[in-house]
Chain A
């Protein structure tokens, strides 16, 4: 059996890496296809992280057209569609494993489904704001196995007409890294990056909210106005390549102060180290929703990018972004009572034992007519 793993962003790599490590241990034959942000220097060239993790990337598909607006991002997806067909034809995998809700993942699901290759979809059935949520459900329609990270997502898949036997409640595999303590001491990062973390720091990740590109500048004004008043270092992680990302980067350079640090990409261990030790994660990254509860770190979630997603008690939502509202949420997040409250928080996305479950289910699932011919139950 040969499994093809597909990844286009650092976030997805976090989902897939623990499963690939299990593949190596269990000597399962696999092929790895990387595309989009992994291959872009301007987005941190995370391909080198994959290689440093000890994995060979068998296929590199260059797809991204410059511009990073709605039109170039959509056109880029067309490029992927035609290129991925050739990869699947050459590799001829038994399974394609996809994760998450990104546009390139949707394209991969279409190509796999139309070339009759069964799809296992990780992080299936969840809600997310903006177009990602629509993409996730569309990927679900093409998928043959759905790996749900929580009960809420599993029950949604059922309501969406997916057959019960396809839905597997396994948790979120990116939490395996957290359980296996794949992080360093913060003092190592101080030495490496020459940043003094003594007074604490805030981790800021703000991706373009696709439906509201026009408001990015205004939102960033509010974020910077608030951050300016906090006497801590701010560690920014560059946004993903979605439409509007170049606006965020330009605004960052205009408004940046000497206590703002920007990283295009960080090795996963370093990112987790920063997340574990931060006073608060602010922004709209799924990491705030999925990963921060394990470390019991407060998360101030901005805007509607993560709208509707199941969240733990460490998340404070600021739906309409303004300096005043961010400040209020941040003050709440740093209060003794809030910190006391989140000490007992349980991550609803699982306990960090997902990757083995996922791999075993894939290996033990018979590829037959029952699996391949989907009956939509509504």
Chain B
């Protein structure tokens, strides 16, 4: 079961997105619509939005990264490759219709290495 604080709807505003990121502690949230993954928003995306002078009323859909990394199954090896190459903190696992099934977090991944 994926916790709610990892997920935002496409119309959610910046304040609420930041709140969820602070709660989940993984520096990223997943933008979903009826469980379908539309994109990811990281702290970096929020910084970019501020740089581009977007205001606090900007919606998740206008903030999110649409070319995000994802996996089709819970494959530790593949997840490791993505974490190492792209330094992202969260990888959604989806089915062929992009429905969110699970997720990898960098934190859990690093703990496993320990």
Tally of contacts, chain A with chain B, CB under 8 A: 42
CA distance A262 to B94 in the complex (A): 16
Quick check: is B86 within 8 A (CB to CB) of the other chain? yes
Q: Which of B36, B66, B86 contacts A262 (CB 8 A)?
A: B66
Q: Which residues of A are found within 8 Å of B61, using beta-carbon distances?
A: 253
> Which B residues between 41 and 57 are near A, CB-CB below 8 angstroms?
48-49, 52, 54
CA distance A45 to B85 in the complex (A): 24
CA distance A41 to B38 in the complex (A): 17
CA distance A261 to B98 in the complex (A): 11
Shortest CB-to-CB span from B86 to chain A, Å, is: 7
Q: Which of A45, A238, A257, A264 contacts B96 (CB 8 A)?
A: A257
Instruction: Given the known inter-chain contacts A41-B52, A194-B69, please indicate yes or no for A257 contacting B62, CB distance below 8 A.
Output: no
Q: Which of B38, B49, B70, B82 contacts A258 (CB 8 A)?
A: B70
Q: Which of A41, A191, A264 contacts B85 (CB 8 A)?
A: A191
CA distance A306 to B47 in the complex (A): 39
Q: When the two chains form their complex, are residues A264 and B98 in contact, meaning their CB atoms are under 8 A apart?
A: no
Q: Which of B48, B67, B98 contacts A193 (CB 8 A)?
A: B67
Instruction: Given the known inter-chain contacts A257-B97, A257-B98, A258-B95, please indicate yes or no for A45 contacting B52, CB distance below 8 A.
Output: yes
Instruction: Given the known inter-chain contacts A194-B82, A258-B72, A258-B94, please indicate yes or no for A41 contacting B36, CB distance below 8 A.
Output: no
Quick check: is A42 within 8 A (CB to CB) of the other chain? yes
Q: When the two chains form their complex, are residues B52 and A262 in contact, meaning their CB atoms are under 8 A apart?
A: no
Q: When the two chains form their complex, are residues A253 and B72 in contact, meaning their CB atoms are under 8 A apart?
A: no
Q: Which residues of A are found within 8 Å of B96, using beta-carbon distances?
A: 257-259
Q: Which residues of B are found within 8 Å of A185, using beta-carbon distances?
A: none
Quick check: is A263 within 8 A (CB to CB) of the other chain? yes
Quick check: is A256 within 8 A (CB to CB) of the other chain? yes
Shortest CB-to-CB span from B68 to chain A, Å, is: 10
Q: When the two chains form their complex, are residues B98 and A256 in contact, meaning their CB atoms are under 8 A apart?
A: yes
Q: When the two chains form their complex, are residues A194 and B86 in contact, meaning their CB atoms are under 8 A apart?
A: yes
Q: Which residues of A are found within 8 Å of B62, using beta-carbon distances?
A: 41-42
Q: When the two chains form their complex, are residues A262 and B97 in contact, meaning their CB atoms are under 8 A apart?
A: no
CA distance A259 to B96 in the complex (A): 8
CA distance A262 to B67 in the complex (A): 6
Instruction: Given the known inter-chain contacts A41-B52, A258-B94, please indicate yes or no for A253 contacting B36, CB distance below 8 A.
Output: yes
Show 8 residue pairs from A and B whose CB-CB distance is below 8 angstroms, ordered by the A residue.
A41-B49, A41-B52, A41-B54, A191-B85, A194-B81, A257-B96, A257-B97, A258-B94
Nearest 10 Cβ contacts at the A-B interface? A262-B66, A41-B52, A253-B38, A194-B69, A258-B96, A263-B67, A256-B98, A258-B98, A257-B96, A42-B62
Task: Mark A residues whose CB is within 8 Å of B.
Answer: 41-42, 45, 191, 193-194, 238, 253-254, 256-259, 261-264
